[in-house]
Amino acid sequence: MKICITADGDNLNANVDLRFGRCPYFILYDTDTDQFEAIPNTNAEGMGGVGVQNATMITEKGGEVVITGNLGPNASQVFQQAGIKTITGVSGKIKDVVENFKKGLL
């Protein structure tokens, strides 16, 4: 399963970024292989609609679950229509979030 976590850095020691639309990175983590890809958020400095643009990108990359601090209504709607689960209100280190997700604690 591919989970996408908003991050303030490009590695598993980074923290969850509370902002979905304006986070610096997305960590796309494959729980089947324990491999990840750090995707720079090229939309972070955009004027508007960045949440929807990011949600579309994550959908195209095969994300199945999105984990973040906050998620706006427009991005949330994109995920809902795509059948992608969202988990909000999450904070802490990416590596800890991944482990908690694998254990079913999120």
35-94: per-residue pLDDT in tens? 999 999 998 888 888 999 999 999 999 999 999 999 999 999 999 999 999 999 999 999
- Which domains, and CATH codes, for the chain? 2-89 (3.30.420.130)
15-31: per-residue pLDDT in tens? 999 999 999 999 999 99
- What is the model's pTM? 0.94
H/E stretch holding 5: strand 2-7
Q: Both tokens of residue 28?
A: 């796309």
How far apart CA 95 and CA 21 sit, in angstroms, is 21
